[in-house]
Structure 1
């Protein structure tokens, strides 16, 4: 069976050099791998090393030890079916850097209360659906106009829009699936050019938040259900999916698909997701799929 190890450095850092690649290659060879060609996806930034003779688990352990203390990200996988046909992305702390319910809470004077519930939920200490109901209840009375005001706080994480646009350019379908709120996901959908977005709906009455959210809540299992719904519509398989997220409510989705990526993730996701981006940005997801930098959408 043929495998590929992909090493990724921070964009424009030129930190990934031939000596590092040679070191990894030598390590793999010394432990029984048969090396094939190397392919520089971007000079100084990303490189593929093709090999056989070791399992994914064995190669990952060797590379982890070799890169200990470095700021590189890497992935090891079979070469077959590497480029995915569907991208499913969490939004908050994944595509954008903010948690919008926390931003709303700060405006309402309940920031500390809600932030603590959010953190416990993302670490898997609380049921997501119940924690969302509790947090939204604390937002009762916030004027609807404040949703618009805080929208300007949303900032894309580096490479997020290029990830989405590049996968669409090459024929993939892209969906933003969030445990957050449709008011915000619709804006990020348009900004990044996702095909669609799915999220929760805040209930509003007399121009103010009612403190409730429309049921059923889109949480951990619902994210997986949304992914399964999309693959049925597209007539593809779970192995054809790249999913990315950072928190506990992403785990079911990340564990089910062909390429489940933890993005600067909480410990529970770092311990579980097969693929990780810890040091770099969303461009790593493209390199993991074998995209050359010249393939990227502008």
Structure 2
């Protein structure tokens, strides 16, 4: 939950940013379709295909995965090095941490609180008879939705967009990074590095701490 006020806001992508994994690939492994989904994910992150269309296609490959599999998926999640150092530093300086993801609430609801995240938004997977149905519930969290979340949370906190930092790795993060006061490419694809305000060279989120206001 967001605090009532904050000095600044840091918003991160989830997959390959907050965590080292691409969650949809971990779920696809439960259906023995990891390689197929990984190739489609890579193309989407490079911006070669429309994200929403790509996500719907990839989620179709998850049809039939039982909900019990999520325990195994969660056990394979690797937090990105430095994430707790970053979130602790943000809070110590009076800031707030948000995560907005093209991934899934089913995973973020478990890991985000453990990693010091105050608020998060992601997609939800539809379920039928205890198994994934292969569709996404509701509107997809795409690039526009990520940018909108950053601005919405900043407004709720009573801070201007110039006091926000957006951190992402894929083409789906570029609109959010453009709206933020500072857009950081982290573990990022070449197109994202080219358009970011700054590029974080090491895969270590503690490297962002000196950039905090």
TM-score category by the smaller chain? over 0.9
How many residues align structurally?
207
Consecutive unaligned residues in structure 2, runs of 5 or more? 1-6
Q: Name the counterpart of 2:126.
A: 203
> Counterparts in 2 of 1:75-224, with a 5 A limit?
85-224=8-147
Matched residue SS, 1:285: helix
The answer on whether the counterparts of 2:80 and 2:203 sit within 8 Å (CA) in structure 1 is no
* Residues 169, 189 of structure 2: 8 Å contact kept: yes
1:284 matched to 2:207? The reply is yes
Query: Secondary structure at 2:113's aligned position in 1?
Result: helix
Deviation at 1:187, TM superposition (A): 1.8
Whole-Å separation in 2 of the counterparts to 1:279 and 1:225: 28
Deviation at 1:211, TM superposition (A): 0.3
User: How far off is 1:278 after superposition?
Assistant: 1.6
Aligned-pair distance for 1:280? 5.1
1:225 equivalent in alignment to 2:151: no
Shift of 1:128: 0.7
CA distance in 2, matches of 1:85, 1:206: 43
RMSD: 1.2
2:189 pairs with 258, 266, 271, which one?
266
Among 150, 166, 169, the alignment partner of 1:243 is 166
Structure 2 contact 90–97 (Cα < 8 Å) conserved:
yes
Aligned residues of 1:165 and 1:192 also touching (Cα < 8 A): no
Distance across 2 between alignment mates of 1:165 and 1:199 = 22
| Cα deviation 1:181-204 (Å, max 9, x = unaligned) | 001111221111211111000111
Tell me how far 1:279 sits from its aligned partner: 2.5
Q: CA deviation at 1:169?
A: 2.0
Check whether the contact 1:265–1:278 (CA below 8 A) recurs between aligned residues. Answer: no
TM-score (norm 1): 0.68
Cα distance in 2 between the residues matched to 1:164 and 1:182: 20
The 2-side partners of 1:200 and 1:207 are apart by: 18
Q: TM-score by structure 2 length?
A: 0.94
Offset at 1:174?
A: 1.0
SS at match of 1:140: coil
Distance 1:268 1:151 in 2: 30
Higher relative contact order (CA 8 A, sep 6+): 2
**1:271 match: secondary structure:** helix
Cα distance in 2 between the residues matched to 1:246 and 1:197: 17
